[in-house]
Amino acid sequence: MVHYEKLSPPTTGEKIKFNNGLPIVPANPIIPYIRGDGTGVDIWPATQKVIDQAIEKAYGIDRKIEWFKIYAGDEACDLYGTYQYLPKDTIEAIREYGVAIKGPLTTPIGGGIRSLNVALRQKFDLYSCVRPCRYYQGTPSPHKHPENLDVIVYRENTEDIYIGIEWESNDPIGIKLIEHLNNDVIPASPSLKNRIIPQGSGIGIKPVSKDGSQRHIRRAIQHALKLNGNKRHVTLVHKGNIMKFTEGSFRDWGYELATNEFRNECITERESWILSNLEQNPRLSIENNAKLIDPGYESLTKEKKDIICNEVQLVINNIHKTHGNNKWKKMVLVDDRIADSIFQQIQTRPQEYSILATLNLNGDYISDAAAAIVGGLGMAPGANIGDRAAIFEATHGTAPKHAGLDRINPGSVILSGVMMLEYIGWQEAADLITKGLSQSIYDKQVTYDLARLMEPPQSPLSCSEFANAVIERF
């Protein structure tokens, strides 16, 4: 039995338990929630009302969430005292009950506390951040065909620069570290030649591990396996041309995982070209196949040509029987794209993508950019998933200038609630909310962010009115 300093868990309701990474859910689960800073005061009550009403409509008195209010951010400091941004009670409650939902939490820029949002992800090892970006009919968008974008950003959630190991430029330890790197480490690494870190630099560490990358990409591939048609597709997004041993390794470990652990269910993009070339011309020679997959083949050195021919030969030897004759077309396609390129690709060729498996920072950027295409941050939900816990939250932050005005769009946290209901298997309630929200947008019953972009501009609903509009359309 956990002893809480200032919390009283609900006296009715039961705990969600985990078995092999999957939640086992009673009819009346206790679910902790964090209201959040800034616009959390507006968004959370609207969301809670929508979720409760959907459950009641779907299941009557047979199912109910027993909400358990826990504290983080400014609200926690009010209750627990100065600098108590993430009290022990909050950590214990999430550990005890496993599934939680939260509003956004403020992180100061530069100095001050490190991100509470990141801290929660790391504390509970919620290694995959899942952010679907899909279009709801009628949503105004700067794009001509926003409906073509239907991607799920799978953002690695615990490593990369978010590990938070960095030193300010004038920190004596940072200065010493730079000296050590310049005088000892770099000269001892011949491939680094005579590079030098400028004096007066701030310095940060970017760790990317094989285990951390592969457990995350595994989840992304498992997700793709549940999808159909050309949505059975995972793109490894990286900046591996520049950061070869972090971002580049992420790509390599992804391919390694796909072609070992998921060999019977996955095809890589290059493998698909080789098999497809052969299907179009069964008598194609190895070299002609190599020329087709590498258009610059003729100008390559003999050594490089041999490597490509060898690749073609190996693919034919190893997987032609199992994957050839079009069988690969039903498998999960795994390809990779350089991060800057994927930002333009999701705008110019959105229909070609499905699951974007990214490292932490790239995923942070891409999820906001993808959200903009389909209606903005007010429509961008998310889930942080680990093997023993899950915390649901929107992609956006606290949007402080709108706080307390009952005007912000609660859609993103409501849709995070939909993801939570799906995660616990309450699909009927989830579907009611999706239906109500889609219909509200279609009926132009929307908050300011969408109303101002509509043609002609509509008069906006408040945050709480939008929640009611969704409920009326269940």
Ligand X SMILES: NC(=O)C1=CN([C@@H]2O[C@H](COP(=O)(O)OP(=O)(O)OC[C@H]3O[C@@H](n4cnc5c(N)ncnc54)[C@H](OP(=O)(O)O)[C@@H]3O)[C@@H](O)[C@H]2O)C=CC1
Which residues form the interface with ligand AKG (CB under 6 A)?
Answer: 107, 115, 117-118, 364, 395, 397
Question: What crossing angle do the helices spanning 40-59 and 411-423 adopt, rounded to 10°?
Answer: 40
Closest approach, Cβ 249 to Mg ion, in A, equals 24
Q: Which of residues 385-404 bind ligand X (CB under 6 A)?
A: 393, 396-401
Query: In the complex with Mg ion, which residue's Cβ is closer, 159 or 364?
Result: 364
The active-site residue out of 102, 123, 206, 239 is: 239
Q: Is 136 annotated as a binding residue?
A: no
Q: Pick the catalytic residue: 127, 136, 162, 353?
A: 162
Shortest distance, CB of residue 419 to Mg ion, whole angstroms?
Answer: 17
Cα 463 to the center of its chain, rounded Å: 25
Instruction: For residue 111, count CB atoms less than 10 angstroms from its CB and return exposed for 0-12, middle for 13-18, buried for 19 or more.
Output: exposed
Tokens of 89: 């009670």
Question: Of these residues, 184, 306, 340, 443, which one is catalytic?
Answer: 340
Edge to edge, the sheet with strand 128-134 lists 66-70, 30-34, 99-102, 390-392, 383-385, 128-134, 150-156, 355-358, 233-238, 332-338, 266-268
* 255 appears as a binding residue in the annotation: no
Given the complex with ligand X, which of 117 and 289 has the nearer CB atom?
A: 117
Strand partners, 24: 17
131 is in an annotated binding site: yes
Residues binding Mg ion (CB under 5 A)? 364
Q: How far is the CB of 152 from Mg ion (least distance, A)?
A: 16
Binding flags for ligand X, 94-113, as an x/- string (CB under 6 A):
----------xxxx------
User: Is 294 a residue of the active site?
Assistant: no
- Tell me the window of 213-221, 320-328, 408-416, 431-439 that interacts with ligand X (CB under 6 A): 408-416
340 assigned to active site: yes
What's the CA gap between 439 and 137, in Å, rounded? Answer: 9
Q: Please say which residue, 89 or 364, places its beta carbon nearer to Mg ion.
A: 364
Bridge partners of 357? 154, 236
Size of the site for ligand X (CB under 6 A): 19
Per the annotation, where are the binding residues for Mg(2+)? Answer: 364
Active site residues: 162, 239, 340, 364
Per the annotation, where are the binding residues for D-threo-isocitrate? Answer: 115, 117, 121, 131, 155
Per the annotation, where are the binding residues? Answer: 106, 115, 117, 121, 131, 155, 364, 409, 448, 452
